[in-house]
Amino acid sequence: MQNVDLYTSLADAAYQGTPGAYSEEAAQQLLGEAARLMPCATIEQAFDAVIDGRASHAVVPVDGALSGTVAETYDLLLSHDLRISGETMINIDHVLVAPAATPLAAVRRVLSHPIALSQCAEFFRAHPKIEAVSVFDTAAAVRMALDAGDGSTAAIASRRAAALHGASIISEHVQDHPENWTRFLVLSTPSQAAAVERPRKAVVAFGLRHEAGALVRALEPIAAAGLSITKIEGRPIRGRPFEYRFVVEMVAPEGGVIDASAFDALRGATSWLKVLGAF
């Protein structure tokens, strides 16, 4: 019986937000519609749920077309020992929603996640009398707007969250650009991460001394292995003025595979290296 208890108490994935959140949609895409999902208030709590063994995976946003890198996720990947085992892209198409029969002219405040609010900057510029209120999750914003029921509070969220909570759609496509996606990663502990047999993509973090040519020397083994760099971020390390931290994503050509020996060469050219995942 213990096994059954353990089984039912363990979620397949922890995610930041509440049902109807874009992260929940990403988790379902990565782990299937039947996956048992655990809502969390913060991205850090989703990481902690995996580390504590309450969830076998976490599904977290990593970057978006309009909003750029989610710095918090990169920081957590470096401070927690989880591995990336896959990714997916979610099309982010925001709607403005409110209780039934609220006209746009009556809206005085709009609740949403701060990143969603930043993706709709032009809407708020065009409606300077509407206040943008940050809450921790887009789907929770819909519920809060319905609960407020004051005829002047709306929310920005997905069409899916609107349907789930029975809210009316006042405006569609309220984000600044039609092409708005967010990329999500699926994470698990190093021991639980099933080794992907023929990984085509990898994400590594490393440190470099502040020296001419240090970055070129670190990237040469990646180029020599025939891999393309699809994303790179590097910036000073807080409180360590002469050291730099880089996160690099690389991909093998169509049909190719990433060989772990590329990481060995990379390790020799950096002051520290952490392979965050190969999938």
Active site residues: 182, 184
State which residue, 113 or 160, has the beta carbon closest to a second copy. 113
Under the criterion CB under 8 A, does residue 106 sit at the interface with a second copy? no
CA 65 to CA 58: how far, in whole Å? 22
Beta-carbon contacts of 16 under 8 Å, excluding residues fewer than 6 positions away, are 23, 40, 41, 42, 43, 45, 46, 60, 61, 136, 137
Under the criterion CB under 8 A, does residue 239 sit at the interface with a second copy? yes
Contact by Cβ (8 Å): 273, 206: yes
Task: Give the per-residue contact string, 40-69, with a second copy (x = CB under 8 A; - = no).
Answer: -xx--------------------x-x-xxx
State which residue, 231 or 267, has the beta carbon closest to a second copy. 231
Binding segment for a second copy (CB under 8 A), chosen from 76-84, 196-204, 227-235, 263-271, is 227-235
By CB under 8 A, name the one of 93, 233, 243, 259 that touches a second copy: 233
Binding segment for a second copy (CB under 8 A), chosen from 17-25, 78-86, 190-198, 236-244, is 236-244
Cα separations in angstroms, 110 against 52, 107, 133: 36, 7, 6
What stretches of 17-148 show up as alpha helix (H) in DSSP?
22-31, 43-51, 71-79, 114-119, 121-126, 138-148
Under the criterion CB under 8 A, does residue 260 sit at the interface with a second copy? no
Under the criterion CB under 8 A, does residue 257 sit at the interface with a second copy? no
CA 174 to CA 165: how far, in whole Å? 19
State which residue, 119 or 188, has the beta carbon closest to a second copy. 119
Under the criterion CB under 8 A, does residue 71 sit at the interface with a second copy? yes
Q: Which two tokens stand for residue 69?
A: 């890198």
Under the criterion CB under 8 A, does residue 147 sit at the interface with a second copy? no
Q: Which two tokens stand for residue 128?
A: 């300077």
The angle subtended at Cα 15 by Cα 279 and Cα 178, nearest 5°, is: 80
By CB under 8 A, name the one of 78, 104, 216, 257 that touches a second copy: 216
The angle subtended at Cα 181 by Cα 133 and Cα 81, nearest 5°, is: 85
By CB under 8 A, name the one of 34, 213, 254, 255 that touches a second copy: 213
CA 130 to CA 29: how far, in whole Å? 34
Contact by Cβ (8 Å): 240, 274: no
Under the criterion CB under 8 A, does residue 234 sit at the interface with a second copy? yes
By CB under 8 A, name the one of 147, 150, 211, 264 that touches a second copy: 211
Binding site for a second copy (CB under 8 A): 41-42, 63, 65, 67-69, 71, 114, 117-118, 121, 125, 131-135, 177, 179, 210-217, 219-220, 222-236, 238-239, 244, 246, 253
